[in-house]
Amino acid sequence: MGTLLRNIRPIVGSVGTISPRFADGIIIDVVDGTTAETREDELIEGHDRLAFSGFTNAHTHLAMVLFRGLADDVALRAWLEDHVWPIERTLRQEDVYWCTLLALAEAIRGGTTCLADMYFHTDAVGRAIEESGLRALISYGIVADSLDAVGRAELTTARRIVERWNGAGDGRIRAAVSPHAVYTCGEDVWREAAALACDLDVPIHTHLAETRGEVDEWRGRTGESPVAYLDRIGALEAPTVAAHCVHVDRADVAILAQRGVNVVHCPKSNAKLGSGIAPIVAMREAGVTVALGTDGAASNNRLDMIEELRAAWMMQRAHAEDPRALSGREAVSMATDAGRSALGMPEGDLTIGAPADIVLVETTGSHMRPQHDPMSALAYAANTGDVTDVVVAGRTLMKDRELLTIDEERVQSEVERLLRRHRA
Amino acid sequence: MGTLLRNIRPIVGSVGTISPRFADGIIIDVVDGTTAETREDELIEGHDRLAFSGFTNAHTHLAMVLFRGLADDVALRAWLEDHVWPIERTLRQEDVYWCTLLALAEAIRGGTTCLADMYFHTDAVGRAIEESGLRALISYGIVADSLDAVGRAELTTARRIVERWNGAGDGRIRAAVSPHAVYTCGEDVWREAAALACDLDVPIHTHLAETRGEVDEWRGRTGESPVAYLDRIGALEAPTVAAHCVHVDRADVAILAQRGVNVVHCPKSNAKLGSGIAPIVAMREAGVTVALGTDGAASNNRLDMIEELRAAWMMQRAHAEDPRALSGREAVSMATDAGRSALGMPEGDLTIGAPADIVLVETTGSHMRPQHDPMSALAYAANTGDVTDVVVAGRTLMKDRELLTIDEERVQSEVERLLRRHRA
């Protein structure tokens, strides 16, 4: 009993066609070749499509799809302070719920099976993720200068979110503690947040060294880099997921490697906001796990991991003037395995015992022909539009491009309604 | 008599919805608003889709889709000499015909209405373009050290191609003279090629200053830059389309501006091959027309102008650490108007008298929602998969994602057959 996924072509591992069987969310058998018979309850015909365990979008703010296309060409601080924050202040739980679902529809259509979200109204985020069927690390973004009443309340919310959501959705959902950044949380807040993460045995998820201005200002004021500062105050003791790390020097990279910090590279967001190009080759060489994320849609404007991994190899190669700086295979690995590892999620490969997280990619488009190598096809040629099926923990979230867990039309109209309310 | 295209939303110009009428390949009327009635022969329902005159891919080698995914991670010279050229030598006219059609299928699906191709077996290229219905500037790539028998034969072929194809396809096809590059054609060949272009009143289309190695080698040997050299020998007298121009200094940029050279920026190819990031902001500021091209699919690996324009703004902003370095609007303009201007093609806007070149883009996908601005949606959010309809010179090449001028299945199978022959 279970499901047979017949005739798929893994992008890594096996050469040729396989037919995995899964039950209770786990792959229980893998048959080689194209002629597997079925005695199972359910059959998914893979049609010789490319298969992998799906992308991990390791840093995003899902509900920010609301701001897609709003003020596209301004710098980070002005964009946050003049455009995003004034609207964010008015958002309700229900708004965040619908916006998160809109983002998840895009994520599933793009072959994402796992992601890390940091936002507020996190109960709404958790509810949307739970319904969607995706895997996610979710967190409440703490912003507080000190441990005054506001700071205490922020930490209480962060604790409550972890207690409520860590392990939810049959274990698909995990929670993190998220002090927003070095420049938005005071030292006491950082210390408490790190202690909370250790106490609850969950990771820290934060923003780190995103812009040159932020790092220069911090160094000018304190004499040390944001990375060195977090290390000195013990904030890197918990497993840490650090988005961006664009402006890190050699000493910072050594700290990141030594502390086992998981870096999330967000090349498109860093490009759009003019933040720069992160030295991910140096980080990888130092042994740092570097995952990939879209950041929020407002600074991207997509949640498209194919565009994101392509942006990663493009910018590293162009910047280094070296076609070997980052291969397509390495970029795909950052967008898949490295992401799962960074978020502490179960490894996804298409072997027995692995979770039944499976994404199918059609290869019939002229842009995918001819095909010399499946990995190359995914890294260099595929579009999100080629993704046809998405399975997470054995549950089918998209079948032949139809979403099964999200009512996309309803979600789109709820977000339009929210916008009309806001404009009125 | 003619065709009414009802209810479209132009990305530039008009605000709101319009309904253009066209006949004999020209837009003859534009009705404002959404309720235009029709007495026309044909009706295309625009369904409130975004509309523009289509992308211009101003530098490509269409038939090189054959090499898509072959040796993805090596440097330009080795890639050409070890992987591409050995196979190219065996290609026949018929092979180039089918590979070009495969490329054109991808181009039309991506909303390209106009392109510039440089390759060999150019009669096959011309035939494929003519059948496809696209606009194109085509040319035979001349490679010759000197005006020996080989060099003479190359120039004779170049002349014959212009005489055969310039003005073909009811004027949709134009021809150029293409000395391949400074490092692959001798000075006499360049002088003759430029004279030929002036004589035939067609542009030069070439590669220029693509890699640092090429420019350094040239400077080391001759003491001048490739741009200064071409200027000195009078090769920039004809209207010139120069692909790449990655490694140009301030003096080069001044020459390009003074001579009215049209530069074609190929950011993805320059990234994939590790060639670098072209100083297009400086070129634009100096008044140089900078268009956009994919280069051949082998070094891209797509002919996707949405990916290409996105790569353009990404790399300029990231490299300059300035979100204002290149706006989405400017990148779209490079991919459309600037391309048409560079190739000497008629301007494409959706006003009376303009050619009926029209591309429709669907906005129903969750990744396009919400939509604050149509231009932003195209520059930052759309996928090629959102393109539904393509009209060139009044002829519908794609209707509701179905290609009307190319038998895509046949083309794919012919290319597979060619590959099997080559592998055998």
CATH number at residue A369: 2.30.40.10
CB pairs under 8 A between A and B: 209
Distance from CA of B172 to the nearest CA of A (A): 24
Are B323 and A419 an interchain contact pair (Cβ–Cβ within 8 Å)?
no
Residues B80 and B185 in one domain: yes
- In angstroms, what separates the C-alpha of A299 from chain B's closest C-alpha? 10
User: What average pLDDT does this structure show over A114-120?
Assistant: 98
Task: Answer yes or no: do B227 and B246 share one domain.
Answer: yes
Same domain (yes/no): B144, B156? yes
Residues of B in contact with A128 (CB under 8 A): none
pLDDT digits (tens, 9 = 90+) for B282-319: 999 999 999 999 999 999 999 999 999 999 999 999 99
Given a cut of 70, is residue A354 above it in pLDDT?
Answer: yes
Domain membership flag for residue B412: no
The range of the structural domain enclosing residue A393 comes to 3-53+348-403
- Chain B residues within 8 A of A65 when measuring between CB atoms: 369-370
Percent of chain B residues topping a pLDDT of 90: 85
| Residue pLDDT, tens place only, A261-300 | 999 999 999 999 999 999 999 999 999 999 999 999 999 9
User: What is the structure's pLDDT at A14?
Assistant: 65
B379 vs A contacts (CB less than 8 Å): 72
**Closest Cα in chain B to A76:** B323
Distance between CA atoms of residues B115 and A113, nearest Å? 38
Considering only the beta carbons, identify the residue of B74, B311, B327 that sits closest to A73. B327
Averaged over B146-160, what is the pLDDT? 98
Whether residue B301 and residue A381 make contact (CB cut-off 8 A), yes or no, is: yes
The closest alpha carbon to B182, from B137, B143, B239, belongs to B143
Query: How far away is chain B from the Cα of A211, in angstroms, using its nearest Cα?
Result: 9
pLDDT grade, residue A139 (50/70/90)? very high
The CATH number for B277's domain is 3.20.20.140
Is the pLDDT at A134 greater than 90? The verdict is yes
Chain A: give the shortest CA distance to residue B96, in Å.
Answer: 14
Give the model confidence (pLDDT) of A151-167 as tens digits.
Answer: 999 999 999 999 999 99
What residues of chain A lie within 8 A of the CB of B277, using their CB? Answer: 318-319
In a domain, B358, yes or no: yes
Rounded CA-CA distance A87/A75 in Å is 18
pLDDT at residue B84, rounded to an integer: 83
Contact A9, A16 (CB under 8 A): yes
Query: Helix (H, G, I), strand (E, B), or coil: what is residue A99?
Result: helix
Q: How far is A380 from chain B (nearest CA, A)?
A: 6
Residue A353: inside a domain: yes
Q: Are residues B76 and B220 part of one domain? A: yes
Q: Using an 8 Å CB-CB cutoff, list chain B residues near A322.
A: 274
User: Is residue A21 a part of any domain in this protein?
Assistant: yes
Contacts of A157 (CB under 8 A, 6+ apart): A122, A140, A142
Q: Does the global pTM surpass 0.90? A: yes
Which residues in chain B are contacts of A267 at CB distance < 8 A?
314, 318
- Subunit contact B369:A321, Cβ cutoff 8 A: no
Any domain includes B413: no
Omega of the bond leading into A179 within 30 degrees of 0 (cis): no
State the smallest CA–CA distance between residue B87 and chain A in angstroms. Answer: 14
How far is residue B1 from each of residues B23, B40, B156, measured CA to CA in Å?
7, 5, 45
Cβ(B265)–Cβ(B59) below 8 Å: no
Q: Please count the residues of chain A.
A: 424
ipTM: 0.96
The answer on pLDDT for B151 being more than 60 is: yes
Residues of A in contact with B319 (CB under 8 A): 277, 318-319
For residues B294 and B330, membership in a common domain is answered with yes
**Is A224 contained in some domain?**
no
Of B284 and A15, the structure prediction assigns the larger pLDDT to B284
Q: What is the mean pLDDT of residues B124-148?
A: 98
Residues B319 and B230 in one domain: yes
Rounded mean pLDDT, B129-135: 98
Number of domains in chain B: 2
Closest CB from A106, A301, A376 relative to B72: A376
Domain boundary among B343, B368, B390: B343
Residue B370 preceded by cis peptide, ω within 30:
yes
Q: Is residue A273 part of a domain?
A: no
Distance CA B303, CA A263 (A): 32
Which residues of chain A have a CB within 8 Å of the CB of B401?
none
Q: Are residues B68 and B168 in the same domain?
A: yes
Choose the closest CB to B315 out of A109, A318, A323.
A318
Shared-domain flag, residues B71 and B44: no
Same domain, B23 and B139: no
Helix, strand or coil, per DSSP, at residue A392 = strand
% of chain B surpassing 70 pLDDT: 98
| Residue of chain A whose Cα is closest to the Cα of B68 | A370
Q: Are residues B29 and B120 in the same domain?
A: no
The answer to whether residue B409 sits within a structural domain is no
Is there a single domain that holds both residue B219 and residue B334?
yes
